[in-house]
Structure 1
Amino acid sequence: MVFRPYLFAAVLISASVAALSAQADPIQGTWQVEPDHKGQVGQVVIRRCGESFCGRVVKVHDSTGKSVVTRSMGRDLFWGLKAKGNGRYEGGRVWVPLYDREYDAKAQLRGDRLRVLGCIGPLCDGQTWFRSR
C-alpha cells in the first residue's frame, strides 16, 4: 500500500514527459519559399519523419498568384534533417529541382525565417523561407 502513491506519481511523470516530447518542433509548419527562376513560389510543409524532419511541396503558384502544377508537387524537397539546438538543423539531404540533384542539407531557424542550404563539402547555397500564416 505504501508504494501506490509513488507508482501513481511515476505514471504521471512518464505521461508528462511523453506529452512534452510529442510537441511540435519550431521548424514544423507551412513555409513559403523564394520565387524560382520562373517566378513560381511554392509552399512547403515541414513535418516529422521518424526521428528527423522532412519538407514536402504542397502548393505552387505563378507570379500572378494562379496555382500551377510542377514536377516538385507532392515531392519532398528535403529529408533527414535533425535538430542540433539553437535553431540549427543538419544531417539531411535536399533536392534542388532546378538542377535535379541532391545535396547535403542544413537549415537555420530564426523566428519566422528559415534559411535552407544545400551543400557540397564546405560550399553552400540556399534560400530564406518565410512561415506562412
Structure 2
Amino acid sequence: MRIRGILFAVGVGACLGTAALADPILGTWQVEPDHKGQIGLVVIRRCGEAFCGRVMQVFDRAGKSVVTRSMGRDLFWDLKPNGNGTYFGGRVWVPLHDKVYDAKARLKGDQLIVRGCVGPVCDGQTWNRIY
C-alpha cells in the first residue's frame, strides 16, 4: 500500500505545482485507520483564502484500494491559517457520524493534528505527510 500511496502522491504533487506548496499544510496526508481499518489519503489544497482537504484514495487493511462514500468528498473546508502552524475556522465532516463539526488543525513537522469540535469538546486524529 505504501508504494501505491507514494505513486499517487507524486502524481498529485506534480499537478499541484511548486507555487502551490507555499503553505506547509498543502500536500497529501495519510489519515489514521478508521473503525474498519481503512486508511485514506487526503489532499489538502487552497480553496480561496482558506484550505480544503479531499479524500482521494482509500485502502483496506490488506493495502488494496477500495471505493468508499468518502472518496472524492471534502473532509474539511474553510480552514484558515492562524500563524505558528495552527489553523482554525473551518468545518470538518466525520464520515463515521455523518456529521459536520467545527474544525481546527495544528501542524507539527510532518504530522497534522486535525480536530473536530462541538463547543470546547474536541476529538480528532493525527495525520502523517506523504508528500
> Scaled by the length of structure 2, what TM-score is found?
0.84
Match of 2:96 among 91, 95, 98: 98
Deviation per residue, 1:40-80 (Å, 9 max, x gap): 00000000000000000000000000000000000000000
Counterpart position of 2:113: 115
Counterpart position of 1:69: 67
CA distance in 1, matches of 2:57, 2:129: 14
Question: What number of residue pairs does the alignment pair up?
Answer: 113
> Scaled by the length of structure 1, what TM-score is found?
0.83
CA distance in 2, matches of 1:132, 1:94: 21
User: Which of the pair has more CA radius of gyration?
Assistant: 1
In structure 1, give the amino acid aligned to 2:58: V
Task: Output aligned runs, 1:7-18, within 5 Å.
Answer: none
CA distance in 1, matches of 2:122, 2:98: 16
Runs of 4+ in structure 1 over 3 Å off: none
Unaligned runs of 5+ in 2: 1-18
Task: Output aligned runs, 1:1-133, within 5 Å.
Answer: 24-133=22-131
Counterpart position of 1:10: none
CA distance in 1, matches of 2:69, 2:27: 22
Larger RCO: Structure 1 or Structure 2 (Cα < 8 Å, ≥ 6 residues apart)? 2
Q: Percent identity?
A: 74
Unaligned runs of 5+ in 1: 1-20
Note the C-alpha offset of 1:24. 2.0
